[in-house]
Each structure stands twice: as structure tokens, then as C-alpha cells.
């Protein structure tokens, strides 16, 4: 009996984990646009013209979170402290920056809206970092050449990595500063 309870508890504890990423090719930014257009429209949000996250009302926030979960195959606790969605976390900070700098600012080269799924395709982490040269080539082919900014200007490495080039954007620029 005790064993059963312990097993049930440990299953609950791992419910949020996903299998290690399959050694599949990295997802390309979808040129056809985001799969979340309809889900966003149902919330009164236009994928082509997303508001600041801070302007999204509390009632819309919860179902909006489902579009994050779907796009990244993530669950709430990947980004939030359990039962305290207001508490700051690094993942929340990164997600806000991606909303602001990517989903609000970028479109595909053919003008289709870019949302979380456009790059993540159902995986929270998806970059193959084993060969930095190959990854740089991939970034050039996919992010620089297949995306543009909404104002019509080109995407460069510096659009995302800044100048001088900062490879670890997430860790070094976007993580919530402690203290
Ligand atoms: C990919 C990361 C991510 C995932 C996954 C995620 N959230 Fe969020 N959540 C955020 C961000 C970013 C904000 C907005 C933070 C801000 O701008 O203050 C937010 C805000 C919220 C808020 C409003 C809190 C506030 O500050 O008023 C609630 C409630 C919330 N999330 C619940 C959830 C629930 C429930 C789930 C699972 C269904 C979930 N979130 C999944 C990143 C995430
Ligand atoms: C232009 C492409 C692009 C778009 C659009 C995008 N992301 Fe990302 N995101 C990335 C890349 C690249 C990484 C690094 C992935 C890795 O480490 O494998 C990443 C990482 C993350 C991480 C950190 C994962 C971790 O724990 O290491 C979070 C959280 C995240 N993205 C949330 C979002 C959310 C939410 C959206 C939509 C509002 C979004 N992203 C849109 C490219 C994108
Ligand atoms: C649309 C945004 C975007 C553009 C444009 C972009 N990158 Fe990235 N790149 C990312 C994100 C996000 C990560 C994950 C960063 C992290 O983990 O901190 C990343 C990671 C990398 C990494 C791996 C860093 C590491 O230490 O693991 C390399 C190398 C890289 N990019 C090179 C480039 C080069 C070269 C260019 C221009 C040809 C470029 N990137 C353009 C978003 C972009």
C-alpha cells in the first residue's frame, strides 16, 4: 500500500519531465506562419500584431499560457514556481523577452507571423550545440535568411546576439538578475 502511494507520488513529481530531445533535425522557423494563429484569434489577439504581455488582461493570460505550453511542449512549472505565477523566474524572463523581441518584432521573409511554435516546434530546447560552426551556419541559413523584422529591416546576428556578439544570450543577458 505504502509502496503504491510512493509510486503515485513519484509519478506526479515527474509528470512535468519530458524525454531527452530526440536526435532529430532542429526545427526550422516555419515559413507558412504559426500554427497558433487561430488559438490567438480566439483570445482576441492578432498574431501579426501582438500587444505587450503587460497589456494582456488577467482573463486572457491563462488561456494564452496554453499556447506557450502547446508551442514548447512545456508545462506551467517549466516557467513558474508552483502555485505562484507572479514569482519571477529565469524561464519567465526569457519567455517575456522572446515574446517582445521575436514574436512581436519578427516575421518570416514572406511576411507570415512568427510565434513561439515557429522556432520551437514543440520543444523547449532544440539547438544542437555540439558543433558551434555548424550551429552558426544553421543560424545564418534559418534565422538571418528566413526572418525579417516587421519594419522591413534585415535580421542580422546582432539583432539577437547584440554587438559585440554574445553567444549565451539567455544566460548572460536575459536571466533575471539576482538581488
Ligand atoms: C514558457 C514559459 C511559460 C509557461 C510554460 C507558462 N507561463 Fe505563465 N507566464 C509566463 C510569462 C512570461 C508571463 C508574464 C509575466 C509578466 O510579464 O509579468 C506569465 C504570466 C502568467 C500569469 C499571470 C501572472 C501575473 O504576473 O499576473 C498566470 C496566472 C500564469 N502565467 C499561469 C500559467 C499557467 C497556469 C501555465 C500552465 C498552463 C503557465 N502560466 C505556463 C511564462 C510561462
Ligand atoms: C526566432 C526563434 C524563436 C522564437 C520565435 C521563440 N523562441 Fe524561445 N528559444 C529560441 C532558441 C533558439 C532557444 C534556445 C533553445 C535551446 O537552448 O535549445 C529558445 C529558448 C527558450 C526558452 C528557454 C528554454 C530553457 O529552459 O533553456 C524559453 C522559456 C523560451 N524559449 C520561450 C519562448 C516563448 C514563450 C516564445 C514565444 C513567445 C518563444 N520562446 C519564441 C528561439 C525562439
Ligand atoms: C532570431 C534570433 C537569432 C539570430 C538572428 C541568430 N541567433 Fe544565434 N542564437 C539565438 C538564440 C536564442 C540562441 C541560444 C542562446 C543561449 O543559449 O543563450 C542562439 C545560440 C547561438 C549559438 C550557440 C551559443 C552557445 O554558446 O551555445 C551560436 C554559435 C550562434 N547562436 C551563432 C549565431 C550566428 C553566427 C548568427 C548570425 C549568422 C546567429 N546566431 C543569429 C538566436 C539567434
pLDDT in tens, the chain (179 residues): 444 444 444 334 445 666 655 556 677 787 778 999 999 999 999 999 999 999 999 999 999 999 999 999 999 999 999 999 999 999 999 999 999 999 999 999 999 999 999 999 999 999 999 999 999 999 999 999 999 999 999 999 999 999 999 999 998 776 655 43
User: Does 97 fall in a domain?
Assistant: yes
Q: How many domains does the chain have?
A: 1
Instruction: Categorise residue 69: left if φ over 0, alpha if ψ from -120 to 50, beta otherwise.
Output: alpha
User: Does 79 fall in a domain?
Assistant: yes
User: Does 9 fall in a domain?
Assistant: no
The protein residue with its alpha carbon nearest to ligand 2, atom 6, reads 116
d(CA 46, CA 161): 27
pLDDT given for residue 29 in this prediction: 80
d(CA 20, CA 36): 25
Q: Domain of 148?
A: 24-174
pLDDT given for residue 20 in this prediction: 59
pLDDT given for residue 33 in this prediction: 84
Cα dihedral sign for 112, 113, 115, 119?
positive
Q: How far is the CA of 159 from the centre of ligand 1 (A)?
A: 26
Beta carbons within 10 angstroms of residue 8's beta carbon: 10
pLDDT given for residue 61 in this prediction: 97
User: Does 14 fall in a domain?
Assistant: no
Which atom of ligand 1 sits closest to the CA of residue 75? Answer: 5
Q: Answer yes or no: is the C-beta of 72 below 6 A from any ligand 1 atom.
A: yes
Q: Which of 179, 159, 34 is nearest to 100 (CA)?
A: 159
Amino acid at each position: 500500500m505504502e509502496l503504491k502511494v510512493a509510486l503515485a507520488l513519484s509519478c506526479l513529481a515527474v509528470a512535468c519531465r519530458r524525454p531527452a530531445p530526440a536526435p532529430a533535425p532542429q526545427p526550422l522557423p516555419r515559413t507558412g506562419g504559426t500554427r497558433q494563429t487561430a488559438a490567438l484569434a480566439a483570445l482576441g489577439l492578432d498574431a501579426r500584431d501582438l500587444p505587450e504581455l503587460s497589456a494582456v488582461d488577467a482573463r486572457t493570460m491563462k488561456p494564452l499560457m496554453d499556447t506557450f505550453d502547446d508551442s514548447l511542449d512545456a508545462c506551467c512549472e517549466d516557467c513558474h514556481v508552483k502555485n505562484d505565477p507572479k514569482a519571477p523566474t529565469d524561464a519567465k524572463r526569457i519567455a517575456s523577452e522572446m515574446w517582445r523581441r521575436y514574436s512581436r518584432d519578427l516575421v518570416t521573409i514572406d511576411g507570415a507571423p512568427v510565434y513561439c511554435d515557429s522556432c520551437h516546434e514543440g520543444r523547449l530546447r532544440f539547438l544542437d550545440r555540439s558543433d558551434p560552426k555548424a550551429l552558426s551556419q544553421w543560424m545564418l541559413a534559418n534565422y538571418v535568411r528566413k526572418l525579417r523584422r516587421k519594419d522591413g529591416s534585415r535580421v542580422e546576428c546582432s539583432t539577437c546576439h547584440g554587438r559585440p556578439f554574445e553567444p549565451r544570450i539567455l544566460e548572460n543577458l536575459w536571466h533575471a538578475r539576482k538581488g
